[in-house]
Copies of this chain bind each other. A is one copy, B any other.
Amino acid sequence: MSILVVGSVAFDTVETPFGRAERVLGGSASFFSLAASFFAPVNLVAVVGSDFGEKELEAFRGRPIDLAGLERVDGKTFHWQGKYSLDLNSRDTICTDLNVFEFFEPRIPDAYRASTHVFLGNIDPVLQRRVLDQVERPALVGADTMNFWISGKPRELRETLTRVDILLINDSEARELSGEWSLPKAARAIRAMGPQTLVIKKGEHGVLLFTDGGAFAAPAFPLEHVFDPTGAGDTFAGGFFGYLAAAGRHDDAHLRRAIVVGSTLASYCVEAFSLDRLRTLTRPEIEARYKAFLDLTRFDAL
């Protein structure tokens, strides 16, 4: 079993009330890969520029993350700069320099084509489809998207969604994609577009899962200190998808556990800048917080 992930590898410059991190490793595929690699081997497809060096690659070394698909081209790596509000609940994008990411055309190495699990990070839905055209019948296709594509390429996105098994989006995206305010109604509408399983991420308010079997709600872990929320959603996706790949099953019981595993990884991610906390994270720590999630949510029958 192995996971193919296609997305961004980037430099982030992040300002929070607690400090500033300058040109640190970021990007959806970076967070996803590190989180997923706790559970399953990851094949990473992304593009970086000539300014991306050995120091940045260190974060991926010593883990089951294959970098043959990490293309390096002339130019600068994608750079995002953002500044969070005092309460960390909103952020302003200071700049988005797409650089080499602007012309990203995912090329899937032959060795990756048999990946059992494919995760399409938040890129142009046309490119997401081209990734699927290059792989052999994966057992599970997951995808992320964003408002930019929902409003900018609705027809293309809808076509891509017919080929996606699990869609992971946030609540405002679910509302925009479906035109429904009620999340259960939005879920019904989106699941009719193709994805049998819908995961709606609500940040500090947790996650909702919708399947044929019904709905599942998981809270976010109530943290006293959130240091930097950047990458939490991608880390969630990596933990979620990594757990499913390792399990080799995606029935409701496994999907629910995967949601809590993803929430566990995300709760650690926000404790430090960049991938810093994920890099020191251990399996026993993951298991301990998963148990804490059980305790956080348990109540008995009447």
Residues in A lying within 8 Å of B, measured CB to CB: 86-89, 181-185, 188, 202, 205-206, 208, 214-219, 222-226, 253, 256-257, 259-261, 287, 290-291, 294-302
Contact check, B299 vs A182: say whether CB atoms are below 8 A apart: no
CB distance from A190 to the nearest CB of B (A): 14
Contact check, B219 vs A183: say whether CB atoms are below 8 A apart: no
In the complex, which residue of chain B has the Cβ closest to the Cβ of A254? Answer: B300
CA A208 – CA B205 in complex, angstroms? 11
Contact check, B301 vs A294: say whether CB atoms are below 8 A apart: yes
Contact check, A217 vs B296: say whether CB atoms are below 8 A apart: yes
Main secondary structure of the interface of A (DSSP, over half): mixed
Q: Give the most central of A182, A217, A225, A301: most B CB within 10 Å.
A: A217
Contact check, A206 vs B219: say whether CB atoms are below 8 A apart: yes
CB distance from A92 to the nearest CB of B (A): 18
Q: Closest 9 interchain pairs by CB?
A: A217-B219, A256-B299, A205-B205, A87-B181, A184-B222, A184-B224, A215-B222, A217-B296, A185-B224
Contact check, A253 vs B297: say whether CB atoms are below 8 A apart: no
Report copies per complex: 2
CA A263 – CA B87 in complex, angstroms? 28
In the complex, which residue of chain B has the Cβ closest to the Cβ of A287? Answer: B302
Please give, as numbers and ranges, the residues of chain B lying within 8 Å of A86 by CB-CB distance: 181
Q: Give the most central of A86, A256, A302: most B CB within 10 Å.
A: A302
CB<8 Å pairs between A and B, sample of 8: A87-B181, A205-B205, A205-B206, A215-B296, A256-B298, A256-B299, A257-B302, A294-B299
| Apart from A184-B223, A206-B217: 11 A-B pairs, beta carbons within 8 A | A89-B181, A205-B205, A206-B206, A208-B219, A208-B222, A218-B299, A253-B300, A257-B299, A257-B302, A260-B299, A297-B299
Contact check, B216 vs A296: say whether CB atoms are below 8 A apart: yes
Please give, as numbers and ranges, the residues of chain B lying within 8 Å of A224 by CB-CB distance: 182, 184-185, 188
Q: Give the most central of A89, A202, A216: most B CB within 10 Å.
A: A216
Q: Give the most central of A89, A181, A202: most B CB within 10 Å.
A: A181
In the complex, which residue of chain B has the Cβ closest to the Cβ of A290? Answer: B302
CA A89 – CA B214 in complex, angstroms? 24
CB distance from A204 to the nearest CB of B (A): 8
Please give, as numbers and ranges, the residues of chain B lying within 8 Å of A287 by CB-CB distance: 302
Contact check, B257 vs A300: say whether CB atoms are below 8 A apart: yes
In the complex, which residue of chain B has the Cβ closest to the Cβ of A253? Answer: B300
Q: Give the most central of A87, A215, A256, A260: most B CB within 10 Å.
A: A215
Please give, as numbers and ranges, the residues of chain B lying within 8 Å of A208 by CB-CB distance: 219, 222
CB distance from A107 to the nearest CB of B (A): 36
CA A205 – CA B260 in complex, angstroms? 17
Contact check, B182 vs A225: say whether CB atoms are below 8 A apart: yes
